[in-house]
Amino acid sequence: VHRSAWVAPRWVAGYNLWRPVAWGTAAAFVGITAPPVVYDYGSTVVIQDNQVYVNGDPVASAADYAAQADQIVDAGRQAKPAENDEWQPLGAFGLIQEDEKTAQRIFQLAVNKDGIVRGNYYDAVADNTLPVVGSVDKKTQRVAWSIGDKKDIVFEAGLSNFTKEDTTVLVHYGKDSTQQMILVRLEEPRDGK
């Protein structure tokens, strides 16, 4: 057990960290009544000529889109969830680049009813665990989070992305560079290993 690891004070009834959360469950939990917005980076969300397009429509410059993700993270960073808040797990995911076969970086993420995201990031190479902070923008359904005190690296995915076994994720390095990676849901360990 890592001392810096975040632990939810209270999970929703019947939670399973290893199974995908259903869209209806996740949306209702955080108070979203709209249908899911699909954020499939490289397909439904494309950055071209320094412009971000969602479903073919221009929505922001790449710098402004990254700044929006920063604002979503900051809302979660500044939030002080109550000690007895209930948390809905979003899952445990390995973060991989296209050429990687094994995840060396792992996220375990959860959300409370206010849309605040908390969790843990484990780096297998450095063998350290850091807390994760972020939030859900209920209007756009974008989820953005960062690791520990690192404000210059922001991860983002749509809330509906967490209902899948694997999904694309954007990683913003400040406002000048963005990289697409993949989150792959981890299988439940067998025999406690």
pLDDT at 114 over 50: yes
Q: Which of 5-9, 20-24, 45-49 bottoms out in mean pLDDT, i.e. has the lowest?
A: 5-9
pLDDT band at 67 (very low <50, low <70, confident <90, very high): very high
Q: CA 32 to CA 45: how far, in whole Å? A: 21
pLDDT band at 1 (very low <50, low <70, confident <90, very high): very low
Supply the pTM of this predicted model: 0.90
Query: pLDDT by residue (tens digit) across 70-81?
Result: 999 999 999 999
Token duo for residue 31: 């108070």
> DSSP labels for the chain?
--TT----S-BPTT--TTSPPPHHHHHHHHT--SPPPP--BTTTEEEETTEEEETTEEEEEHHHHHHHHHHHHHHHHH----TT--EEEEEEEEEE-TT-SS-SEEEEEEEETT-EEEEEEEETTTTEEEEEEEEEETTTTEEEEEETT--SEEEEEEGGGGGSSEEEEEEEETTTEEEEEEEEEPPPPSTT-
Q: Measured at the alpha carbon of residue 52, what is the angle toward residues 91 and 169, in degrees to the nearest 5?
A: 15
pLDDT at 182 over 70: yes
pLDDT at 191 over 80: no
What is the mean pLDDT of the segment spanning 101-106? 82
> In the chain, what is the straight-line distance between the N-terminal and C-terminal CA atoms, in Å?
13
| Residue partners of 18: CB distance under 8 A and separation at least 6 | 91, 92, 185, 186, 187, 188
